[in-house]
Amino acid sequence: MDIPNWITQRAGLTPGRTALSCGDDRWDFRQLAGKANSVAGKLRTAGLKEGDRIALLLDSGPEAVFLIHGALLAGLELVMLNSRLTAAELEYQILDSGAVRVIASDRLAEKAGESALTAGDLAKMEVTPIEPAAVWAEDRTLTIMYTSGTTGFPKGVRQTAGNHFASAMASVLNMGLSEDDVWLCAMPLFHISGFSILMKSLLYGMEVRLQPKFDEQESAREIADGSVTRISVVAATLIRLLDRLEEEGWQASGRFRTMLAGGGPVPVPFIRRAEALGIRILQTYGMTETASQTATLSAGDAERKAGSSGKPLFFSRIRIDGAKGPGEAGEILVSGPHVTPGYVGRFSDRDARPDGWLHTGDIGKLDEDGFLYVLDRRSDLIVSGGENVYPAEVEQVLVSHPSVREAGVTGMPDDAWGEVPAAFIVLKSPASEEELIKFCSERLARFKVPKAIIFKDGLPRNASNKLLRRELKEQLRMPE
């Protein structure tokens, strides 16, 4: 199936509708397409031809949006590099992906290597006239994003036009769409959560309100004054947003519709805090390999199915490997048109769907109503005396304590049990180790209760604010 070129198609359908805003600056879809077309012509001048693969190391700002859309118009495959990685980590991804050129924001050029073309130098180039393709093939690779590398080498995941299209359509079938929708994007554009908002904008004709870096004060203000109608968050940004709204005494505007929360289940106390502020949280489960969401919990089921990531979206299928009935835990398998066709580089020979299903590496279960519960990464599982302990379950209990802001749990070596849980805690008000252990003992089986509590000012997270439990394990090995 051929798909109309989203950029030119949207510019033709709603040319005067706002496409992008950042601060006081605004661009409609006609202007966005014009900016993209100019960038595409400069990329041709730089010697890049249709089908080439380039790597982008960009700050999240309007110029990055124009460059991304321009590169897509030019028919290029985009390797989206994480700007928070070290030079050595970036070098691995650039070499592994086979990118023929790196284009970097001026600020990041040094990390990108000597041969990188800076965005500033590209902007000075002449425009070679270009006639963008009228249609995109469904199997055309648009983007390549590397997994966060929580275990082993990061894998370069291919995401096709069909993957992005199926993801965006399944999302809108679940959430609905209004002509006045404005999605506040404070997620990094190199991450699937941020990039998918750009794709949704083109397909829905929706404004993206871009924040180059998450600002809880500005985000809270715009939710309260009705400037935006939707936002994507993870646990860390959700906490900061709720805290700021409560501190300011603000309520969400009646225009504000949904907060899409990924990166793990949202504890019930946070759901109740959000509801008191007029915010509907939609918990979601997805990954790089599924071009964003694959299951989402509706706001109406948030308390009834606390801890669940919801049901599979319309085009998705989910099953639990080896489970013989509801409630049995196993690896989460996913199938659907949003699932990657494969990888690049060192993992290019790996079949992404060996039996027709993506093996996610996540442990989960489906209840009797078909709701998905994500228990943990398989690699994060703690086996204590033969019993499975899921860190996320323990973290859920800990953050329900009124004094706990954040919690991270990992396995700690133990002579008697092999491993026992240890908890890293960020407090928002005073609490003792004894108090927190007693709190857990009243709510968890004995083998799940943390045997050590370590108080911290913050927890290690990656660029998408995902908790890095492997770094917690490293901290346990380090002498104080």
- Which pLDDT score, from 0 to 100, does residue 232 have? 95
pLDDT digits (tens, 9 = 90+) for 284-296: 999 999 999 999 9
DSSP per-residue string spanning 173-229: HHH---TT-EEEE-S-TTSHHHHHHHHHHHHHT-EEEE-SS--HHHHHHHHHHTS-S
Contact 129, 1 (CB under 8 A): no
- Which pLDDT score, from 0 to 100, does residue 263 have? 73
| Bridge partner list, 293 | 286
* Average pLDDT rounded to a whole number, residues 93-118: 94
CA 414 to each of CA 87, 384, 417, 468: distance values in angstroms, whole numbers, following the listed order: 37, 9, 6, 21
Residue 236 scores a pLDDT above 80: no
* pTM for the whole structure: 0.85
pLDDT digits (tens, 9 = 90+) for 169-220: 999 999 999 999 999 999 999 999 999 999 999 999 999 999 999 999 999 9
- Which pLDDT score, from 0 to 100, does residue 150 have? 45
Residue 406 in 3-state DSSP? strand
pLDDT digits (tens, 9 = 90+) for 49-68: 999 999 999 999 999 999 99
Residue 440 scores a pLDDT above 90: yes
**What domains does the chain contain, in order, with CATH numbers?**
2-137 (3.40.50.980), 165-379 (3.40.50.12780), 381-477 (3.30.300.30)
Tokens of 11: 């510019």
